[in-house]
A and B are shown apart, each in its own frame.
Chain A
Amino acid sequence: MSLEIDIQKTFGDFQLRIEGTIREGITGVFGPSASGKSTLLNCVAGFEKPDNGRISLNLETLFSSQDNINISAEKRRVGYVHQHSALFPHLSVRENVEFGYLLTPEAKRSVDLREMIHLFRLEKIMDRGVLNLSGGERQRVALVRSLAASPELLLLDEPLASLDLPFRGFILKKLKEVSERLDLNMVYVSHSISEMMALVNSIIVINNGEKVAEGDPALLLNNLRVANYVDYGSLENIIQGTVVEHLDDYFSVLSVGDGKGDARLVIPKLELEIGESIDVSINASDIIVSKNFPVAISAKNILKGTVSQINNSTNYAFMHCDIGGISLITALTGHSVIGLELEEGDDIYLILKATSINPITSV
């Protein structure tokens, strides 16, 4: 399974020149606005025609200027999820979702529509019109609609950019699940570092129509060539926890981790039963690092951990810390790393206010 691209396209004085191979899983395309991300997706989807070059998906040529091939969008089997969901306003949720499903020949249907409707929790809104749906609902409908057409590749153009964090978390999780369950490759365009860190397996960074870096998503944290257009302040850790205790009227306790050396997080009271699970997000800049156990401190969470990796960028340093089997990324100034003489393998304490841990409501 692979998508091979080697294309050029010029608009006025902007030129897109991209060459690369996209393989298994979810590939992120990261870059500032007007860097050529959407043009790249449009060329792969068949909405725009490159000036020259070649695009092939799973060895089938979708576009070749040399051989004069340009397969039309509807025959490419490439799904496309737009930032503003692009739902058909004159159709109900059900009719939207079934649009591509019914156009897909039975022999090519690889997706169980009912399973997708269930997975993205659309059952209750199936017979509603799409005009009154919330942003999160609209995007879930758009995703199921695309998946229902059994695409061989799914392109996602900033699908979460207009959603609030709670809705983003749910969709990110489901996207990952669907990619694995259906063995579906995705190309995910975004300029959100949190989404890249939480979702993608590999990343391509483009700027001014050219590829400037590619590889592991962690390169966003340490590659100086991309540092200028990463909004480091928005980096969120998204982790799953299980409610293990309600302390009093104000706080609950979550257990996070791999089930062995679980870490516990004290967070503002949750309206959930003991044993229920929930995703939470923690901004990397909200975590304070200490080499010694802090005493007489108001923060509710003091977590013991080990530094597993330090990535230095221009003004920031990102420290990956293992706590009870999960990894948290903390953002520090380069000055702090030097001042504390932090090195990989060091034991440290992470200090976190209860109110810095934000529950992500599931839908």
Chain B
Amino acid sequence: MFDLVLLSLKVAVVATSINIPVAIYVGWLIGRKEIRGKLILESFISLPLALPPVVTGYFLLILIGRESSIGHVSKFLFGTDIVFTWVASAIAASVVSFPLMVRAIIVAMQNVDTTLERAARSLGAGPVRTFFKVTMPLCYNGLLAGILLGFVRAMGEFGATIVVAGNIPGRTQTIPLAIYSKVQLGKDGEAMSLIMVSTALAIATLIVHHWLIIKGSRKSER
């Protein structure tokens, strides 16, 4: 079971790490900038929330499967496929958890008072410095809450993962996939300990998430 938890953590950590910089950038773009096609961009990034995860998995299979150009590049560079490896699990977890993370970050960034950013600019700080010295620290709690939400979603990813990474014990089997297998085989007792780990993790994450949101809103009350 230890290996199982470790693999699940590895997949979720990698998926979240890939998402963080992209989600912050996209969150800033949507939450802070006046850009064209904002509605389309926002709808597009939320798509995995609305699609059945199996469908997302199918699209990913087309994108990174053996016959895709990305699949060929991977074969050429690393001598291996992406599909049915833990990397495919991480990619699936990343795509599915991205909208949750980015939506929380958009809200956090929209809550930052623009007059503070303007104040920083008039004091001589350029846009990058203003972002790191003013915007980021002020939406830090919301940012962290979004990252946490994305992480817990990545930990629980099932539908897209089973399509692109399969359910191979020791290679791509994460906690939810293992629970599924054990229940299928009637090993409810073995499944129960994994269910308890999953539930405890989800509750703990949501408590921290809500605590961060409350702390963040107190901070912005002035």
Question: What is the total of A-B residue contacts with beta carbons within 8 Å?
Answer: 71
A86 interface residue (CB < 8 Å to B)? yes
B70 interface residue (CB < 8 Å to A)? no
A244 interface residue (CB < 8 Å to B)? no
Total interface residues in chain A, CB < 8 Å: 27
Most chain B CB neighbours (cut-off 10 Å) among A75, A87, A88: A88
Q: Are A74 and B125 in contact (CB under 8 A)?
A: yes
Known pairs A90-B137, A90-B138; A45 contacts B122 (CB<8 A): yes
Q: Are A103 and B124 in contact (CB under 8 A)?
A: yes
Over the window 115-144 of chain B, the binary record of Cβ atoms lying under 8 Å from chain A Cβ atoms (1 yes, 0 no) is 110111111111101000110011000000
CB < 8 Å neighbour of A72 from B116, B119, B126, B219 = B126
A269 interface residue (CB < 8 Å to B)? no
The CA of A146 and the CA of B118, in the complex, are separated in Å by 12
The CA of A76 and the CA of B220, in the complex, are separated in Å by 29
A80 interface residue (CB < 8 Å to B)? yes
The CA of A90 and the CA of B119, in the complex, are separated in Å by 14
A308 interface residue (CB < 8 Å to B)? no
Q: Are B219 and A80 in contact (CB under 8 A)?
A: no
Residues of B81-134 whose CB lies within 8 A of A: 113, 115-116, 118-127, 129, 133-134
Q: Are A82 and B119 in contact (CB under 8 A)?
A: yes
Residues of A133-163 whose CB lies within 8 A of B: 145-146, 149
Q: Are A100 and B124 in contact (CB under 8 A)?
A: yes
B222 interface residue (CB < 8 Å to A)? yes
CB < 8 Å neighbour of B123 from A46, A47, A84, A103 = A103
Known pairs A79-B122, A89-B138, A146-B122; A131 contacts B113 (CB<8 A): no
The CA of A39 and the CA of B121, in the complex, are separated in Å by 17
Q: Are A86 and B115 in contact (CB under 8 A)?
A: yes
User: Who on chain B is nearest to A150 by CB?
Assistant: B124
The CA of A79 and the CA of B120, in the complex, are separated in Å by 10
CB < 8 Å neighbour of B121 from A73, A87, A131 = A73
A120 interface residue (CB < 8 Å to B)? no
Q: Are B122 and A88 in contact (CB under 8 A)?
A: no
The CA of A45 and the CA of B117, in the complex, are separated in Å by 13
The CA of A87 and the CA of B120, in the complex, are separated in Å by 9
User: Who on chain B is nearest to A79 by CB?
Assistant: B122
Q: Are A73 and B115 in contact (CB under 8 A)?
A: no
Q: Are A74 and B121 in contact (CB under 8 A)?
A: yes
A333 interface residue (CB < 8 Å to B)? no
Most chain A CB neighbours (cut-off 10 Å) among B118, B122, B133, B222: B122
A99 interface residue (CB < 8 Å to B)? yes
Give the contact-size bracket for chain B: 20 to 34
Q: Are B138 and A73 in contact (CB under 8 A)?
A: no
Q: Are A104 and B124 in contact (CB under 8 A)?
A: yes
The CA of A131 and the CA of B115, in the complex, are separated in Å by 16
CB < 8 Å neighbour of B122 from A80, A84, A87, A104 = A80
Q: Are B116 and A73 in contact (CB under 8 A)?
A: no
CB < 8 Å neighbour of A45 from B118, B125, B129 = B118
- Within the complex, the shortest CB–CB distance from B212 to chain A, in Å, comes to 15
- Within the complex, the shortest CB–CB distance from A154 to chain B, in Å, comes to 10
Known pairs A74-B125, A74-B126, A103-B125; A86 contacts B137 (CB<8 A): no
When distances are taken between beta carbons in the complex, the residues of chain B under 8 Å from A146 are: 122-123
Known pairs A82-B115, A86-B115; A99 contacts B123 (CB<8 A): yes
The CA of A337 and the CA of B60, in the complex, are separated in Å by 87
Residues of A61-81 whose CB lies within 8 A of B: 72-80
Residues of B158-207 whose CB lies within 8 A of A: none
Known pairs A84-B115, A90-B138; A46 contacts B121 (CB<8 A): yes
Over the window 26-58 of chain A, the binary record of Cβ atoms lying under 8 Å from chain B Cβ atoms (1 yes, 0 no) is 000000000000000000011100000000000
Q: Are B121 and A47 in contact (CB under 8 A)?
A: yes
The CA of A265 and the CA of B122, in the complex, are separated in Å by 44
When distances are taken between beta carbons in the complex, the residues of chain A under 8 Å from B125 are: 74, 99-100, 103
Q: Are A131 and B222 in contact (CB under 8 A)?
A: yes
Residues of A83-114 whose CB lies within 8 A of B: 84, 86-90, 99-100, 103-104
User: Who on chain B is nearest to A157 by CB?
Assistant: B115
Known pairs A82-B115, A84-B115; A89 contacts B219 (CB<8 A): yes
When distances are taken between beta carbons in the complex, the residues of chain B under 8 Å from A86 are: 113, 115-116, 118-119
Residues of A at the B interface (CB closer than 8 Å) are 45-47, 72-80, 82, 84, 86-90, 99-100, 103-104, 131, 145-146, 149
Residues of B at the A interface (CB closer than 8 Å) are 113, 115-116, 118-127, 129, 133-134, 137-138, 219-220, 222
9 more A-B contacts (CB under 8 A) besides A84-B115, A100-B125?
A: A74-B123, A77-B124, A86-B115, A99-B133, A103-B123, A103-B125, A146-B122, A149-B122, A149-B123
4 tightest A-B contacts by CB?
A100-B123, A103-B124, A73-B121, A80-B122
A-B contact pairs, 12 of them (CB 8 A): A45-B118, A47-B121, A72-B127, A79-B122, A88-B120, A89-B138, A89-B222, A90-B137, A90-B219, A99-B133, A149-B122, A149-B123
